[in-house]
Amino acid sequence: MNKILTRGGVEFLAVLFGITISLWVEDWRQDRDIQDKILEDYINIRDEIETDIKNIDRIIALVDNQSDLLKTLIKYSNQELKFDEQRILTGIQEVTAPTFFGSLTAYKASVSSGRLNFSTEQNISNEISLLYEHFYKRLDTNSEIFDQRLQILKKDYFIDFYSLIHGKNVFNQNTRSLFLSERMENAMYWILDYVENFYANRLSDTRLQMVKTKNSIDKHLKK
Of 12-16, 94-98, 195-199, 206-210, the range with the lowest mean pLDDT is: 12-16
Read off the DSSP letter of residue 132. I
Which residues of the chain form beta strands (DSSP E)? none
Q: How does pLDDT run across 25-54, given as a tens digit for each residue? A: 444 455 566 667 888 889 999 999 999 999
The pLDDT value recorded for residue 27 is 47
Which position has the higher pLDDT, 118 or 159? Answer: 159
What separation, in Å, do the N-terminal and C-terminal C-alpha atoms of the chain show? 58
Which position has the higher pLDDT, 3 or 210? Answer: 210
Asked if residue 88 lies in contact with residue 165, where contact means CB atoms within 8 angstroms, the answer is no
Which position has the higher pLDDT, 121 or 19? Answer: 121
Q: Which residues contact 3 (CB under 8 A, 6 or more apart)?
A: none
Q: What type of residue is 125?
A: S
DSSP-derived 3-state class of residue 95: coil
What number is the average pLDDT over the span 155-175?
92
The pLDDT value recorded for residue 148 is 96
Rounded CA-CA distance 96/187 in Å is: 14
The pLDDT value recorded for residue 88 is 97
pTM: 0.82
